Every structure is written in C-alpha cells, then in structure tokens.
A and B are shown apart, each in its own frame.
Chain A
Amino acid sequence: QVHLQESGPGLVKPSGTLSLTCSVSGGSVNSYYWTWIRQTPGKGPEWIGTIRFSGDTNYNPSLKRRVSISLDKSDNHFSLKLTSLTAADTAIYFCGRSPLGDYVDYWGQGTLVAVSS
C-alpha cells in the first residue's frame, strides 16, 4: 500500500517561497508520476503540476512562472517550490501518485498553508 505524507511550514509570508516535501513509502518514486494539487475551502481542487520518474515535469500554466517540482530518488520523496506568494496561494496542498501522469490514485492527507504576514 502506497502512503504519501506532506511536510512543510504551515505559515509563509507574502512574497516568500513555499517549500513542501512529499515522503513516499510502500512504493518508489523511481516509477510512476508524482503530482501536487491544492484546494481552497468550498472549491474544487486545482492541479499544480506533475513530475515523471525520469524528471520530466508538466506544470499548470497559471502557476508555471512560480512553480518548481523536483524528485529525490535517494530519499524517495518529491518536492514543491512556489515563489512570490500572495494570499491567493493560501490552500490545502496535497501530494499524490498518478499512474500515467493523469488522475491521482493515492493521496497524501494534505497540509494547510496560509500566506500571511
């Protein structure tokens, strides 16, 4: 059974950078695709981006200038960086596994990130 767990700060200042890590157990990041999604209360989820086991990435154009996703095969985790934060980036951030870079079949529990001074 694949298990994913997000970690990172719960509060980040405006104009700052968000860094989150997703630790994977029960499976290897050396296969499949790995995805970040966020959600604000009462709204549908928003796809942020996906990284393939090869390191190839695909980002949402609405965030592309500010987002970076990377893979650490030695430590079996992947990471999200989002720069130039505003209050609009306040959300619950989820990591997940995508079988072919499409839908998400395994999800982390999510971590709330607030952007505030």
Chain B
Amino acid sequence: DIQLTQSPATLSASIGDRVTLTCRASQSVDEWLAWYQQKPGKAPKLLIYKASNVQRGVTSRFSGRGSGTEFTLTISSLQPDDFANYYCQQYRHSPWTFGPGTKVEI
C-alpha cells in the first residue's frame, strides 16, 4: 500500500496567515491526490482533487500543487472557519489511502 505522511502534524497559526501543508507519498501517485477538510463531528469535505483542481463551491483561498510524491495545500489567508483537520488521499494505486492529517489550530 502507498503510505502518505503529512507535515506538520499540528500547525499553529493566526487569522490572515498564509499557511502551507505538505503531503508526501511513499511512491509516485502522479497527480491523483485529493485534499479534504474535516471539522470535529463532521464528515470530511472535498477541497482539491487531481492535486490542483479546486472543488466547485470551495473558496479560492485554497490551492493545491504538486505531482509525483510531494504535494502542498496552501490557504492564502487563514479565516476562522479554516481551523480544522486536513487530510490528503491518493487514488493512483488501490487501495486508496489517506494521510494521518494536519491539525490547523490557533
């Protein structure tokens, strides 16, 4: 199985900060990577698919980059609603796998 690692595990930031989260894959997944946001007690919400495509209805403050084994999710200007857990998922090689997450906190 492809292992995904995310860094940092926890990110402390302030409103208005530009933050970048990283996801690394144990082998190439090309651009077949998605990012999700999850708040406590809720289902994950799709933010980005195919590494850099913003899901319809998601604010343009979120952007994704990368290919192969290294990917980033950037929030351009952190807002109160953005404090949450963020997970990456690869869908290049079955079984699809998720990373352990990055918690963005104040």
| Interface positions of A (Cβ within 8 A of B) | 43-47, 58, 60-62, 94, 96, 102-105, 107-110
Contact = CB atoms under 8 A, between A and B. Distances in A.
Interface of B: 4, 32, 34, 42-46, 49, 55, 87, 89, 91, 94-101
Nearest to A61: B95
Contacts of B45: 107
Given A44-B99, A44-B100, A107 B43 contact: yes
Given A44-B87, A45-B87, A104 B46 contact: yes
User: What is the interface of chain B mostly: helix, strand, loop, or mixed?
Assistant: loop
B43 A103 contact: no
User: What is the interface of chain A mostly: helix, strand, loop, or mixed?
Assistant: loop
Contact of B32 (A46, A94, A102, A105): A102
